[in-house]
Structure 1
Amino acid sequence: MGWIAFIVLGLLAGLIARWILPGKQTSSIIITILLGIVGALLGGWLGSVLFDAPLEDFFSIQTWLLAIGGSVIVLAIYGAVMGKKR
């Protein structure tokens, strides 16, 4: 999968993860998108390490679930860290 497709995947996965997570989200949409891209990378890495299932095909449900799962993890960690600072 190319970099542009990966960025689009991370953008959409970050927005979906933001919608999934409960509570008030205080981060901007730009931060959410960047964290979504990081989450997609994390999801792809975890998928390849744990399940031998890397992010290969943009239209695969497996790719989307891994990217969204990684984004939820990253956004939850970000929310926990930033919530303690406020």
Structure 2
Amino acid sequence: MWSIIVAIVIGFIAGLIARAIHPGNDKAGFIMTTVLGIAGSLVATFAGRALGLYSEGSAAGFIASVIGAIIILFIYNMVTKKKTV
């Protein structure tokens, strides 16, 4: 349980950093950026556990969370991108 809480807190910070690092004009607001960061952190945690990088009770590191948040933010921008005619 504690590892999920740590992943959420780290994800919050990672989302803000990912937004600053990711190029382009993001239309996502503060709450969406936070949610994407938390999702990136949780994805990095569970992917790391599946790959054997983290033990069962540990959360992803900060750098992995930022990378996960950037990937989620990139996918989010690809999905919500509007085509201009």
RMSD of aligned Cα (Å) = 2.1
The SS at the match of 2:11 is helix
| TM superposition score normalised by structure 2 | 0.80
Aligned length: 81
Separation in structure 2 between the aligned mates of residue 26 and residue 17 of structure 1, nearest angstrom: 14
Q: What is the deviation of 1:84?
A: 3.4
Aligned partner of 2:25 in structure 1 is 24
- Structure with greater helix share of residues: 1
Query: Which consecutive segments of 4 or more residues in structure 1 shift more than 3 A?
Result: none
Asked whether 1:45 is paired with 2:56, we answer no
Q: Are 2:58 and 1:56 equivalent residues in the alignment?
A: yes
Q: Any stretches of 5+ residues in structure 1 without a counterpart?
A: none
1:53-76, CA deviations, whole angstroms, 9 ceiling, x for partnerless residues? 22826xxxx611111111111110
Q: CA deviation at 1:19?
A: 1.0
Name which one, 1 or 2, has greater alpha-carbon Rg: 2
For structure 2, the 5+ residue unaligned runs are none
Q: Percent identity?
A: 38
